[in-house]
Every structure is written in structure tokens, then in C-alpha cells.
Amino acid sequence: MENALVSVPHNWYLLLSSLLFCIGVMGVLLRRNVIVILMCIELMLNSVNLLLVSFSAYAQNADGQVFVFFVMVVAAAEVAVGLALIVSIYRNVASTDIDSMKKLKW
């Protein structure tokens, strides 16, 4: 395992995380369920985390891993507040469809 970095080119990690990010973007655009949209946002955050960890490992600098730690904190806070919002909206309109929140556009 110690020569993992030698045999896996860094470009592959760039490719993998950009693919994951695009899947997340496509999910946000494609789906109408708010919970699935929130999960796709998590997917995008995770792709960026993976990229930060790979850069930190290849550059031998632990700063990137500290950043990933903070991104996880922000993601946890975001999910807690977002799900509370979804529960609160569901109580009022009895739906998690994104189109039932059209009034937010006004």
C-alpha cells in the first residue's frame, strides 16, 4: 500500500471527482424531490473533499485534510438545518416536491 501514490496517477483522481461533481449537478437539475436534491448537494461536497484529500496526499501537505475536516462540519450543519426546513415545509404543504415551493421565487 505504501506505493499507492506511485501507481495511481493524480489525473485519475481529478477525473473521478469531476465526474462525481457532474453527477451531483445533474441530480440537482433532474430530480424534483427536495430530499434527493439535498443528497446530490452532499455528493458534490464529497467530490470536492476527495479532490482536496488527493491533492493533500500528492503534495504531502496536511492542510488539505484540515480543510476537508471543516467541510464536513459545514456539511453536517447544512444537512441538519436543511432537513429541519424540509420537515417544516412538509408540515405546511404536505409535499416534498420542489414545485410546491414556487412561492419562494417571488
Partner 1 sequence: MAQYIFYALSIVTILSALYVVFAKSPMYSVIAMIVCFFSIAGHYVLLNAQFLAIVHIIVYAGAIMVLFLFVVMLLNLNQEPDKSHGKLLRVAAAISGGMLFLVLLLSLNTSETGTFVLPEKSDIGMVEHVGKKLFNEYVLPFEISSVLLLSAIVGSVVLAKKEA
| Residues from 26 through 65 that contact partner 1 (CB under 8 A) | 26-27, 29-33, 35-36, 38-40, 42-43, 46, 49-50, 53-54, 56-63, 65
Q: Which is nearer to partner 1, 60 or 102 (CB)?
A: 60
Shortest Å, Cβ 83 to partner 1: 5
Exposed/middle/buried for residue 17 (C-beta within 10 Å: 0-12, 13-18, 19+)? buried
3-state DSSP assignment of residue 20: helix
Binding mask 74-93 for partner 1 (x = CB under 8 A): xxxxxxxx-xxxxxx-xx--
Closest by Cα among 47, 41, 56 to 98: 41
Q: Which is nearer to partner 1, 1 or 102 (CB)?
A: 1
